[in-house]
């Protein structure tokens, strides 16, 4: 998973194998996998957070991300979540369109949140109701 995450992210920086493993071991966390991609999330106190989503760059636009996000929403509901949220880099237009297509809307912004490689980018906060 770390190799795939590294192939997908530069800003924000990719997660290490240790960070991915620690996230998977979290009490409230869950991981969804499909050939060519994975998603990590957690549900705490009625809120679901999509922590990261990685789809192999060579396998994009084939429905993998859409299936993973739909699976996240279904699993979040099954775990009792009433709402879901995530953050995404402002410049990641394909991801933003994917999330909007699954019912997420922009709820806020963290200015200059992502920093690295001599640049910075805003994080767009997005959320949706699961009721």
**How far, CA to CA in Å, does 85 sit from each of 91, 123, 126?**
18, 13, 6
Q: Which of 117, 80, 72, 78 is nearest to 98 (CA)?
A: 72
Query: Which is the catalytic residue, given 25, 49, 90, 99?
Result: 99
Clarify whether 99 is annotated catalytic: yes
- Specify whether the backbone of 60 is left (phi greater than 0), alpha (psi in -120 to 50) or beta: beta
Structure tokens at 67: 């299936």
Name the catalytic one among 87, 90, 113, 121: 87
**Assigned token pair, 90:** 């402002």
Residue 71 and residue 131: Cα distance in Å, rounded?
16
> Catalytic amino acids?
87, 99
């Amino acid at each position: 998973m770390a190799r795939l995450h590294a192939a997908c992210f530069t800003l924000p920086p990719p997660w290490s194998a240790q960070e991915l493993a620690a996230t998977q071991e979290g009490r409230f966390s869950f991981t969804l996998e499909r050939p060519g991609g994975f998603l990590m999330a957690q549900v705490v106190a009625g809120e679901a957070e999509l922590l990261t989503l990685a789809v192999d760059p060579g396998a994009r636009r084939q429905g993998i991300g859409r299936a993973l996000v739909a699976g996240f929403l279904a699993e979040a509901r099954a775990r009792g979540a009433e709402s879901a949220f995530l953050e995404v880099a402002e410049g990641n237009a394909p991801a933003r369109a994917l999330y909007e297509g699954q019912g997420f809307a922009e709820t806020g912004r963290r200015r200059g949140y992502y920093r690295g490689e001599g640049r910075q980018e805003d994080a767009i906060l997005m959320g949706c109701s699961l009721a």
